[in-house]
Structure 1
Amino acid sequence: MIRVHSYESLGTYDGPGIRLVVFLQGCNFRCLYCANPDTIDAKGESKETSPEEILRMAVSQKPFFGKKGGITFSGGEPTFQAKSLVPLFRLLKEAGIHICVDTNGGIWNSDVEELFSLADLVLLDVKEFNNERHRLLTSRGNEQTLKTAAWLEAHGKPFWLRYVAVQGYSAFSEDIEALGNHFKDYRMIERVEILPYHTLGVHKYEAMGMTYRLTNVPVNTPQQLDEIKQLFSKYFKTVYVN
């Protein structure tokens, strides 16, 4: 069984085309800006769901996917439930549905490796390139995330690089430059997506009795986003502000 937090039909922000987005329960990171804090706990208020039920939902929405769309697994952190997802991924492949995984890349085992092997596209969230700042932002190091990127590259697995720009936490030009230098020769990075920092999930913290620690952090100005885009564009051909 798979612990599902929620669904989004006709999603257009998490992968190519129109997609069914499945938000899964459980995460190994503790990102300060997490927009879905209710998905962090391994159980939370999630619903145990069979692979067949998710497959039925995906197949029923397949007419809306067109040539580019499909299903995206987000969270939470999908690889947190890799063992349960592998059978579902096999079923989705048999049904001809494009599979996308949105991941922080911070978990690695044989089940995660098989999961990525079955996926058509990986959305790899690199939270920060500087490891010390990455720990401040997520409570975890970024070593495995970088190893995951290297595995995707070595195994010819297409992926999108995603970066949340947070003023004072990850919007440092020197770190973006270092990231660009590290990844500039990767052939499997299809595009880079800059995700503007937002506060849309703050109300969830209040409802859950949790303290939101970035209350004084401003959202990005259009000028700041343009400057960040220009930095990334020095190293990558296809850069978007999502």
Structure 2
Amino acid sequence: MSTGRLHSWDLSTGVDGPGTRFVAFLSGCPLRCLYCQNPDTWHMRDGTATTAAELLDRIGGFAKFLRAAGGGLTVSGGEPLLQPAFTRALFAGARGLGLHTALDTSGALGARADDELLDLTSLVLLDIKAWNPARYRRLTSGYLTPTLDFARRLARRGTPVWLRYVLVPRHNDDPADVEGLAGFAAGLGNVERVDVLPFHRLGAPKYERLGIPFPLHDTPPPTPEQAEQVRAAFRAAGLKTT
């Protein structure tokens, strides 16, 4: 049975997939997003070694409730595709329990998701962090192209996607960039909704505890009006927003 590194788990409703979700947060992430709220998930070594069987046994204790609530399992991070075999084993077990499965990913490691894993995936929560490649690089330390390639692959497969966009003033709020991403997402044909998530600084205490400077400590959250303008751009492209 596959073994992975688990950071933590929680139960949530509405934001990590339909219904009530068992959310497994895996350790390890290749990106260093300036707004990251979970720097404690960056390193694999900080997670707890866990077998898929152990975690599935815990999930099984909630399975009847999750099915009744129209929910299931979401594997998040960190970046779950840093541990694709573990993620695949969890999804296979969850499907055996009759649960919906959601993959919460930046798409940066989308090439690591083989067809078997995606066959077991009911929904992808795809976090496209910026549309302009240079801004994406500054915001994440990664590259945009792998994420867009993964998005196109999901579209070819017909895999449902909920697009996530963390709105960070002065970093990814340029109207032309938002409109560019909206047009791309609308053209995919498999994006069921777009979640515009206003940046916040609630994770700053974690940086302090870890002795890491929080890069956006002086960046204000977007105003409700700014967030609504971005949602309106996605809606103008024909997409549902939250």
Instruction: Tell whether the structures are fold-level matches, with TM greater than 0.5.
Output: yes
**SS at 2:166 equivalent:** strand
Cα separation, 2, equivalents of 1:29 and 1:178: 23
- Deviates most, 144-153 or 65-74: 65-74
Q: Which residue of 2 aligns with 1:52?
A: 53
For residue 129 of structure 1, the aligned residue among 128, 131, 146 is: 131
Distance 1:219 1:110, change over 3 A: closer
Q: Deviations over 1:206-233 (max 9, x none)?
A: 0000011101100111111111111111
Q: What displacement does 1:108 show? A: 3.6
For residue 212 of structure 2, the aligned residue among 210, 213, 230 is: 210
1:79-158 to 2 correspondences below 5 Å? 79-109=81-111, 111-158=113-160
Report whether the alignment pairs 1:43 with 2:38: no
Q: What displacement does 1:115 show? A: 2.0
Cα separation, 2, equivalents of 1:215 and 1:170: 16
Letter in 1 for 2:145: E
Letter in 1 for 2:49: E
Q: Which residue of 2 aligns with 1:220?
A: 222
- Deviates most, 114-123 or 9-18: 9-18
Cα separation, 1, equivalents of 2:106 and 2:190: 17
Q: What displacement does 1:172 show? A: 1.2
CA contact (8 A) 1:116 1:122 kept: no
Letter in 1 for 2:64: P
1:157-236 to 2 correspondences below 5 Å? 157-236=159-238
The RMSD of aligned alpha carbons is: 1.4
CA contact (8 A) 1:83 1:112 kept: no
- Deviates most, 103-112 or 228-237: 103-112
Q: What displacement does 1:67 show? A: 5.0
Cα separation, 2, equivalents of 1:216 and 1:111: 37
Q: Which residue of 1 aligns with 2:65?
A: 64
Report whether the alignment pairs 1:34 with 2:52: no
Q: What displacement does 1:81 show? A: 0.3
Identical positions, percent: 38
Q: What displacement does 1:198 show? A: 0.9
**SS at 2:238 equivalent:** coil
CA contact (8 A) 2:111 2:150 kept: no
Cα separation, 2, equivalents of 1:169 and 1:108: 24
TM-score by length of 1: 0.94
Distance 1:229 1:109, change over 3 A: closer
Letter in 2 for 1:76: G
Distance 1:111 1:219, change over 3 A: closer
**SS at 2:45 equivalent:** coil
Cα separation, 1, equivalents of 2:101 and 2:157: 17
**SS at 2:108 equivalent:** coil
CA contact (8 A) 1:5 1:39 kept: yes
Cα separation, 2, equivalents of 1:206 and 1:112: 38
- Deviates most, 166-175 or 8-17: 8-17
Report whether the alignment pairs 1:23 with 2:25: yes
Paired residues, number = 239
CA contact (8 A) 2:129 2:166 kept: yes
Cα separation, 1, equivalents of 2:174 and 2:97: 43
Letter in 2 for 1:122: V
Cα separation, 1, equivalents of 2:63 and 2:132: 40
Letter in 2 for 1:55: L
